[in-house]
Amino acid sequence: MDEKIKLSIDGKTYEFPVIVGSENEKAIDISKLRSETSFITLDPGFGNTGACSSAITYIDGDKGILRYRGIPVEQVAEHSTFVETAYLLVHGNLPAKEQLRAYSASFTKHAKLHKDMKNFFAGYPTTGHPMAILSAMVCSLSAYYPELVKPEPTPEEIDESAVQLLSKVRTIAAYSYKKSIGEHFVEPNDDLAYIPNFLNMMFSKPGKPYKIDDDVVKALMVLLILHADHEQNCSTSTVRLVGSSWANLFASVSAGICALWGPLHGGANQEVVEMLEEMKKEGGNIKKFIDKAKDPDSNYRLMGFGHRVYKNYDPRAKIIKEQAHKLLTKLGIHDPLLDIAAKLEEAVLKDDYFAQRKLYPNVDFYSGLIYKAIGIPTNMFPVMFAIGRMPGWIAHWKEMKADPKTKIGRPRQIYIGPTMQDYVPVEKRK
Ligand code: ACO
């Protein structure tokens, strides 16, 4: 219970408390390390550093376990909806029937964008990446809802901002797509549920309504649910860090979207499909790409493989792979990229380089093939990830706000620059 870790420095012994999580994960609480010893810890990439305690998501990367509020993600993906999953993550429990109905209804109520916000889209070049537009628009929401952006919002105001974000992110995403293809926006339809409404805004055209296919909706639902949270990843930690300065939820989430965009994080789903296209162009010669990824003199990586936390098959990738096969078969699509992906996975799993480093397919490896089958363009894939991750970002921001232990995030460093030197006036410099 009161376990302590002893640290000996220059013959003096210091004791630090051990913190134990509900799944018996252990941490050494070093919050007094610097004041007691003058040492700090150095951990680039924070692979061994916990920044908070959290009750939202549990991952055991060695065993391939992922649970939302204790519920295995496999069960959530099979039985739940994205709206219900959002409620679970943001509010901490599954909603009762009436709570779920009211929650869904609040998304319908807040789906429309302020009419002035729609003008912003006209200013972007059609070639602009939709993640740039999404992050800017999400941050801009703070300009339209000033009543929600106080440094100390009430719980009701936080919930209101959360619903605004969860609902409007679909509309912003669909409008950024319509803008990029030069088509008119399709307004949200109050009669449609969360995902059909999004698909309708994306793909309906004047005089040509989009036909909702239940299997497409189910596949997209599973993808969004599987992306909904993943504890302290790069974008979620960004949201928490920005929020720790008391920045508002819209601004914090906008920063998270920017962090997600990078190819080593949520941008990887776009990169995977582009990599598979390259492999196809090369006549399916995957060996060339594998060799390049293994070459110590090259920075090249096989996109969609490897994970900081999973040292086993990513449980999300397993479900997404099955969904990809199921949906493509149902839609009668034979995508040669799926064949190349399967060949690549097989070759990688047999290869010592990847085995030694425990590199398995991650969530991004097969997801792009589902988005592609639905008709979502490649540069929108990270946007789809952002829609899915929205509940997680919000849940963490909310938890961070409510935690009395939260302090402004401010890591230390070890300075390695020049020691003290005098200023030299410009005329005397060589
Ligand atoms: N292809 C080839 N080699 C790889 C790959 C890869 N995809 N990923 C890691 N490695 C190698 C590294 O070169 C390194 O080798 P070394 O020990 O010989 O130097 C070793 O495996 C460990 O890699 P790190 O970069 O230290 O692992 P880290 O935990 O920091 O990175 C990451 C994890 C960023 C996901 C990495 O595996 C990667 O770049 N993967 C490709 C991008 C990707 O798919 N990102 C999506 C991740 S899931 C998500 O964020 C939603």
Q: For residue 151, what is the domain's CATH number?
A: 1.10.580.10
Residues 6+ apart with CB under 8 A from 112: 171, 187, 188
Alpha carbon distance 347, 268 (integer Å): 20
Using the mean position of ligand 1's atoms as its centre, give its distance from the Cα of residue 290 in Å: 14
12: CATH: 2.20.28
3 state DSSP class of 72 = strand
Residue 315 lies in a domain: yes
Task: Give me the chain's average pLDDT, please.
Answer: 95
Using the mean position of ligand 1's atoms as its centre, give its distance from the Cα of residue 64 in Å: 17
Query: If pLDDT is split at 50, 70 and 90, which confidence band does 47 have?
Result: very high
Query: If pLDDT is split at 50, 70 and 90, which confidence band does 419 have?
Result: very high
Q: Give percent above pLDDT 90 in the chain.
A: 94
Q: Are residues 226 and 289 in the same domain?
A: no
- Does the Cβ of 264 fall within 6 Å of ligand 1? yes
Q: Are residues 309 and 327 in the same domain?
A: yes
Backbone angles phi, psi at 313, to 5 degrees: -60, 130
- Does the Cβ of 363 fall within 6 Å of ligand 1? yes
- Does the Cβ of 325 fall within 6 Å of ligand 1? no
Q: Which of 119-128, 233-242, 416-425 has the lowest mean pLDDT?
A: 119-128
Alpha carbon distance 304, 363 (integer Å): 7
* pLDDT (mean) for 23-37: 97
Query: In this model, does residue 174 exceed pLDDT 80?
Result: yes
CA distances from 133 to 86, 140, 254, 396 (A): 23, 10, 10, 23
| DSSP-derived secondary structure letter, 308 | S
* pLDDT (mean) for 114-125: 91
Count other Cβ atoms within 10 Å, centred on residue 425: 6
| DSSP-derived secondary structure letter, 305 | B
Query: If pLDDT is split at 50, 70 and 90, which confidence band does 417 have?
Result: very high
Residues 6+ apart with CB under 8 A from 259: 234, 235, 237, 238, 265
- Does the Cβ of 348 fall within 6 Å of ligand 1? no
Query: Residue 148: its pLDDT value, please?
Result: 86
List residues with catalytic annotation.
Answer: 307, 364
Alpha carbon distance 241, 60 (integer Å): 24
Query: If pLDDT is split at 50, 70 and 90, which confidence band does 2 have?
Result: confident
Spell out a b/e string for 371-400, using b for 16 or more CB atoms within 10 Å of the CB, else e: bbbbebebbbbbbbbbbbbbbbbbbbbbbb
Beta bridge partners of 71: 68
| Cβ atoms 187, 174 nearer than 8 A | no
What domain range is 131 assigned to? 71-264+385-401
From 93, 64, 62, select the one nearest 80 (Cα to Cα): 93
Residue 428 lies in a domain: no
Query: In this model, does residue 126 exceed pLDDT 90?
Result: no
Residue 425 lies in a domain: no
Alpha carbon distance 28, 149 (integer Å): 35
pLDDT in tens, 380-413: 999 999 999 999 999 999 999 999 999 999 999 9
Using the mean position of ligand 1's atoms as its centre, give its distance from the Cα of residue 359 in Å: 8
Query: Residue 88: its pLDDT value, please?
Result: 98
Query: If pLDDT is split at 50, 70 and 90, which confidence band does 1 have?
Result: low
Tell me the pTM: 0.95
- Does the Cβ of 303 fall within 6 Å of ligand 1? yes
Please tell me the total count of domains within the chain: 3
Q: Are residues 86 and 200 in the same domain?
A: yes
330: CATH: 1.10.230.10
The closest-lying atom of ligand 1 relative to the alpha carbon of residue 305 is 7
